[in-house]
Amino acid sequence: MSPQRKLLLLGTFVHSKTQQHLEFLHNAAVAVDEQGKIAAIERDVAEASEAQARLLTQLGWDEAEVDVTVAAEGQFFFPGFVDTHIHAPQYANAGIFGKSSLLDWLETYTFPLESSLADLSKARRVYTRCVRRTLSHGTTTATYYATIDVAATNLLADLCLSMGQRAFVGRACMDNPDVNPDYYRDASAAETLRATQQTIDHMRSIDPGFDIVSPILTPRFAPSCSREAMAGLAQLHRETNLPIQTHISENLGEIQLVKSMFPEADSYAGVYDKYGLLTPKTVLAHAVHISEEEAELIAHRGSKVSHCPCSNTSLTSGPARVRWMWDRGIDVGLGTDMSGGYSPSILDAARQAALVSRHVAMGIHVPEGGGAAAVEQEKERERVKLTVEEALYLATRGGARCVGLEDKIGGFEVGMEWDAQLVSLSQVSDDGGMEEHDHGHGLVDVFGWESWGDRLAKWLYNGDDRNTKRVWVKGRLVHKRK
């Protein structure tokens, strides 16, 4: 890859300071070095030009070696989104799920599509589009499931690297002949491990430090794996410290299936724990129906949860309880779970997380007739609702923690990497029209009197890819909207 130029970004920067608070840096400047790292931040200067001059002097950088990007009025820089759970091959099915729920959806829609991507020209089309599309929605890091096919999985890794999306790429492991169809499964546990190793070797050859693209060990979900395959993947994790991803407790039928298949375990989480897969580097997608004991076990092991609200609604899996998981000390991020979820957008996932938390609130029974119990339940209803700040935290820093990148991405701090998006919200002109340059800027209208907090709320609830003008990963410009 050709060496990158240094960057200087000027204007308003917004990021999560904590889970509950956004921080707004106005008239600020961020300097990014050739390695894509934030070298310095200057805040609260009177004018952008002053910030620029100060930073260049402080760093000893020459103006000629720096590319400058200025966020105009109504624009701001925001950390790139982290999608902690997405199926790249299923992109071709986004929106196609009818009235299915998990187990029949897998059989009817998903396995046939995934197996067809052994055709590499088809895989290239779908994967190229998936990476481009998610980048255009501001996803700078994606934790992908691929398929069982080694060549197509390696191709996905190649495409992420060449298009510049930070990615964890997992070959789907599924060797159980009783659950997986004959036309789409690994021949044996040994084959599962051998094929997985081939994808690890490939990713090491294209990105030796796993800087942009990293393998992730991917037992599809307990029912699709033999005990030997799960134990073997856990052994591989202990040898390599590679991350792990899988699904857990998404659907009631699935939970029954796990119970009948693994009588030796106390629970679904107990199956993964028994076979060594519950680790601090494990991301568990869904966790809709986990019990108190399972939550305690997951928290104790330090495993993370990818909350996939769009998928959980689309496949009628159920409403996952983010506040409840946070209360128990579980780190949570967001996943599109495309195409269980129909949307490729993490902004959309954040919005749906906020809405689903309100459904959780509405499900809390408030006894009639008032009294202390009713007051408590009313308070609880309020408490479980996610705020705008919390939803945007889930989309950025929360996701970064889930995938072990909290020191590198998710916020703007010196030493972190420049994974960011430039967001633009339309300014309404005095006559109620749009400012000339704002045509085609999407659904968000800013009148000018809104606080910055309110602007972010408008973006969360009505924003889309039309608002994402530029996207960078590790300092490299990876998407630009005309």
- Give 338's strand partners: 341
Nearer to Zn ion, 314 or 421 (CB): 314
E strand intervals along 17-89: 22-32, 38-42, 66-70, 75-79, 81-87
Calpha distance 223→429 (Å, rounded): 57
Q: Is 254 in the site for Zn ion (CB under 5 A)?
A: no
The residue with its CB nearest to ligand GUN is 340
Residues 298-337 within binding reach of Zn ion (CB under 5 A): 337
Nearer to Zn ion, 285 or 346 (CB): 285
Q: Is 114 in the site for Zn ion (CB under 5 A)?
A: no
Q: Is 417 in the site for ligand GUN (CB under 6 A)?
A: no
474 binds, among ligand GUN, Zn ion, none (CB under 5 to 8 A by kind): none
Count the site residues for ligand GUN by CB under 6 A: 11
**276 exposed, middle or buried (CB, 10 Å; 0-12, 13-18, 19+)?**
middle
250 binds, among ligand GUN, Zn ion, none (CB under 5 to 8 A by kind): ligand GUN
| Window 270-299: contact mask with Zn ion (x via CB under 5 A) | ---------------x--------------
Question: Do the strands 6-16 and 213-215 form a parallel or antiparallel pair, or are they unpaired?
Answer: unpaired
Q: Is 207 in the site for Zn ion (CB under 5 A)?
A: no
Q: Is 186 in the site for ligand GUN (CB under 6 A)?
A: no
Give the SS3 label for residue 69: strand
Using CA atoms, how far residue 472 sits from 9, 53, 426, in Å, is: 11, 23, 22
Candidates 41-49, 102-110, 319-327, 457-465; binding stretch for ligand GUN (CB under 6 A): 102-110
Q: Is 307 in the site for ligand GUN (CB under 6 A)?
A: no
- Give 146's strand partners: none
Using CA atoms, how far residue 133 sits from 24, 77, 212, 336, 469, in Å, is: 28, 20, 18, 13, 13
Q: How far is the CB of 316 from ligand GUN (least distance, A)?
A: 12
Q: Determine the angle formed by the axes of helices 150-163 and 189-206, rounding to 10 degrees.
A: 20
Residue for token digits 């999306």?
165
Give CA angle at 314 (213, 272), nearest 5°. Answer: 55
Nearer to ligand GUN, 144 or 412 (CB): 144
Q: How far is the CB of 386 from ligand GUN (least distance, A)?
A: 21
| Window 220-259: contact mask with ligand GUN (x via CB under 6 A) | xx-------------------------x--x---------
Q: How far is the CB of 14 from ligand GUN (least distance, A)?
A: 31
- DSSP, residue by residue, 274-304: HTT---TTEEEEE-SS--HHHHHHHHHHT-E
Q: Is 180 in the site for ligand GUN (CB under 6 A)?
A: no
* Residues binding ligand GUN (CB under 6 A): 87, 102, 106, 110, 220-221, 247, 250, 311, 337, 340
